[in-house]
Structure 1
């Protein structure tokens, strides 16, 4: 038996060896392989999962396709379009550089699954999370962004929205990338229906705010647009930005909507616009700028970002410039009227001095006694502050002080130097000024001038009076400033100042010699003081460091800006990284 078994084994091995040495032809091998493959498939036709995970990828593709395809029959989508608003994904497409969008959380939302086999299922319905977010580029700059989808639950919270938003806020801090927020709704704020869904109520959490404050104080650009009704948390998110803009045709912002307001304050029948539209919030400082529509909102966001670094630990971006730094501005010699009571266009001075086409104003509709914004000098970003003599003669009121206070912090957090055109008769006076706490806000502005550390260069174009003038011009040591021949300064303007300083003398002349003699003496005093206030006399005593030809202003300030970016900014960035200076926006 043993010999027969050995013989059989030897024969089998020889046969196997022969098959390798003399293989079958290609057709025979192919047929045999197909037979074996079919045999294996039959064994586990319902249970074998593809080795390339195509089933999982297919599910993801299906969900993404559902999210990308609008449903015209959906009530929320129809309402969005009837209101003249873009759908959220249309907004993303219009905002970002073409082809740059990379979504984060693309399949988050509520899915209904159907089992199709053992360990197999497919999505049959899908309601995406009502927030689209991810990475993209604005004119080549990488950003992170969040965009509310008002067509789904009016932007109220769902199972994934808050987690998604919080993740992106943290990601902006970790990666030091600018954050753009397109707000339309409550941005994940609560709804009473959430109580029913959860089966319990809750104390409102604010987990997303700590990273927002961190972004603001790290100088990570936060740019927000109001593209519909910004309600509650949505309103808070867009107001808590370095820069915000509202679309005039569709934007509004409020703490609570008209129905809640009617129940609380009995103000009934209010529309979104009446409650918190552009006429309300673009004129009181809640929102910085007004745009005609969504497209202009996106353009303003792109423009602002071009002046800002990715964070306060890097330099603001400079650009090549064709406008010569030594360009003369002869029109500036005559822009200040010789008659002191006359006004002039302060914005014309700004646009004449800065690089052509670079002026971008912030907050033009509120705090109108002050003008502020961004521009470039020789291609370098600078902040601009001026007083507006066409409004209240340029006297700095409460809203003007708040506006300048915010702008100073904005520039300080982004390492942008400040150029000021100073023509200030002092703080606003009168009962209206006292009622609106002008001095309180003026002192707050003073604190900001003296606590920020960005370089300030001053051009005194005309008046510099009182506490307001001193704060604006004397907050840096050593001072960097030049004056124009039209300059005048002092503790009080002559008009009113003579009456105060010579009150007894003038009253006695009027009592003894009559009103005509009083006027004659007043005119004598006025002529004497104006002669003594010749700016050259101040320069003789080095009270005005240099009086320049206004036509040369551009060259002077461009030289200053270049020196800051070449020599001082690298030192500032090292000090900031080392913790020696701590700019704060919030």
Structure 2
């Protein structure tokens, strides 16, 4: 065949192909548009979608719309999933159906601040790995670490965890491998890149783990549950039959044991709490200070003349520490974390003169139990990674004692709390409003080499409370002799005399005279004292700025 004939055929074939392939690639972009439309259209005819709605749950994309600023969401990998390609007689195969990945990823803004987001779609394979690509999830985790951007995890399922049916697809039983995931999240948490989790359905396995690792986690009470394995698996493992999701791992249970932080009334309340939490913390504690709201509408010179009345003069009555907290910090700025985990301590975020702070307080004049120690330790570590100065109100009669306290390993938890105080370096300001006794009180009131603290006139402190059995032990011999001489009446009379003598020495002004305590202040001036201290920490060239510089230079390493 002549060369010219070959050339003619090639030219004709090329012309034929070009007639089917638009020069602007609109054939492919139209396929992209079709796939994006499939992914973003609610699957209203699917039973799984209808089940979501019937259970009072939002569709995953409606969740994202409710959480983020309007029109700020940019999806990463919107066409990831299982595509059905149908052959065409007059052209290449066309995509006709898409089962999207059940874990949406993307970026957006909250209060104009950049965040990354992962969100489970329980309507697709209940969040299991059969419907999600782990590499897609890992990509966003890497992106959060690389760009040092807060990451929010809306959990509803196993977040890409495995399932039994995956074995049939692979043809072998896969060995679990989670190093890449856990390593990324651990680095984020230590750098102070905010990790925030929301439980918006049954969080199980890897999904539960992802949430539990976060700095802050909230669970929607009406739809959320959290467990290592669901009721059916538990039934086979422990023979506990008939458990509901709520009985096994409902909101009340998982916040009372400290696994999760806060309960939300519903999904919208959960999103509100996420936005609130983020307003107190930097985008990356390794390089930024927390966001300051200035000017503050609540001046630090504000005086509450009634604040001292929250400390009863009668020792047997409990102090109203929550009322003191509300009075001390900026109005409507106190965001409590872990309210139902331990009734012996309070942890919160707040503002003082517009400056974000961490808050620690003892509650109801109760001795610190194991849960209270764990709660304080976690809060300290969180404040440390976010450069949040801590203001604490101390009313601590010591560690809890008794057989129940020993069974809960209270002293071990107390030691872990001590390690948190002495291994963190964020500034701490202590206000002793009432009791400060024993090892527990000593740990709380003396956490830094530079002692920055004040005492109320109601403050009482020592190795052991005088009315807590200490007098009876210390004066046992004397009291026994008095009982032998004058009987029970003599014993009680001498004991009461000793108590009066000791109470007279509890006046904090006696300790201040020897500079054993630095400042005894009027309670109504507490806001000014604490506010000026916080402002100094935030000032240019101050402690917090120097701390961030040390972290950026690698000379200060913190751990969550």
TM-score (structure 1 length as normaliser): 0.91
Equivalent residue number for residue 309 of structure 2: 334
Corresponding residue for 2:292? 318
Contact 1:132–1:147 at 8 Å: present in 2 too?
A: yes
Change in Cα spacing, 1:303 to 1:554, as seen in structure 2 (3 Å) is: same
Larger-Rg structure: 1
Give the corresponding residue for 1:50. Answer: 22
- Between the aligned partners of 1:47 and 1:472, the Cα distance in structure 2 is 79
Q: Distance in 2 between matches of 1:103 and 1:174?
A: 18
Match of 2:81 among 109, 112, 117: 109
Report how far residue 43 of structure 1 moved.
4.8
Query: For 1:104-183, what aligned pairs fall within 5 Å after superposition?
Result: 104-116=76-88, 120-158=92-130, 160-183=132-155
2:445 pairs, out of 456, 473, 495, with 473
SS at match of 1:536: helix
Pairing partner for 2:492 from 493, 497, 519: 519
Pair 1:365-2:340 in alignment: yes
The match for 1:351 is: 326
Q: Which of 539, 542, 556 is 2:512 aligned to?
A: 539
The aligned residue for residue 563 of structure 1 is 536
Q: Which residue of 2 aligns with 1:10?
A: none
The within-5 A match list for 1:90-105 is: 90-105=62-77
Contact 2:125 2:131 survives alignment (8 Å)? no
Checking the alignment, whether the CA contact within 8 Å between 2:482 and 2:490 is kept in structure 1 is yes
Q: What aligned pairs does 1:12-411 form with structure 2 within 5 A after superposition?
A: 43-44=15-16, 47-116=19-88, 120-158=92-130, 160-206=132-178, 207-312=180-285, 313-320=287-294, 321-389=296-364, 393-411=365-383
Partner of 1:27: none
Cα distance in structure 1, aligned partners of 2:348 and 2:492: 44
Q: Which residue of 2 aligns with 1:37?
A: none
Q: Deviations over 1:80-124 (max 9, x none)?
A: 111110011111111110000000010000001123257623111
CA contact (8 A) 2:100 2:131 kept: no
The answer on whether the counterparts of 1:329 and 1:553 sit within 8 Å (CA) in structure 2 is: no
Contact 1:413-1:583 at 8 Å conserved across structures: yes
Verify the 8 A CA contact 2:124 2:131 in the aligned structure 1.
no
Structure 1 residue runs of 4+, over 6 Å off? none
Q: Distance in 2 between matches of 1:525 and 1:43?
A: 110
Matched residues, number = 544
In the TM superposition, what is the alpha-carbon distance from 1:368 to its structure 2 partner? 1.6
Q: What is the distance in 1 between the residues matched to 2:388 and 2:552?
A: 16
Deviations 1:287-313 (A, max 9, x none): 000000000000000000000101112
Task: Determine the C-alpha separation between the residues in 1 that align with 2:315 and 2:14.
Answer: 99
Deviations 1:473-504 (A, max 9, x none): 11111200010000110000011111111112
Deviation of the 1:41 alpha carbon: 12
* Alpha-carbon distance in 1 for matches of 2:195, 2:125: 25
Contact 2:102/2:131 (8 A) holds in 1: no
Distance 1:47 1:205 in 2: 49
CA–CA distance in structure 2, aligned partners of residues 432 and 187 of structure 1: 38
* C-alpha distance 160-256 of structure 1, shift in aligned 2 (>3 A): closer
Q: 3-state SS of the aligned residue for 2:498?
A: helix
5+ residue gaps, structure 1, are: 1-39
Paired with 1:65 and 1:358, the residues of 2 have a C-alpha distance of 42
Distance 2:169 2:45 in 1: 25
Distance 1:261 1:171 in 2: 36
Task: After TM superposition, give the deviation of residue 579 of structure 1 in Å.
Answer: 1.7
Q: Once the two structures are superposed, what CA deviation does each residue of 1:110-139 show, in whole Å capped at 9, x if it has no partner?
A: 001123257623111110000111001111
Q: Output one character per residue of 1:395-415: Cα deviation in whole Å (capped at 9) or x when no partner.
A: 000000000000000000000
* Structure 2 unaligned blocks of 5 or more: 1-11
Partner residue, 2:473: 500
Partner SS, residue 129 of structure 2 = coil
* CA drift at 1:532: 1.4
Residues 516-562 of structure 1 deviation map (CA, whole Å, 9 limit, x = unaligned): 00011001101111111211100000011011110011111110111
Q: Is the 8 A contact 1:258 1:271 kept in 2?
A: yes
SS at match of 1:282: helix
The structural deviation recorded for 1:46 is: 7.1
What value does the CA root-mean-square deviation take over the aligned residues?
1.5
**In structure 2, C-alpha distance between the alignment counterparts of 1:69 and 1:370, rounded to whole Å:** 47
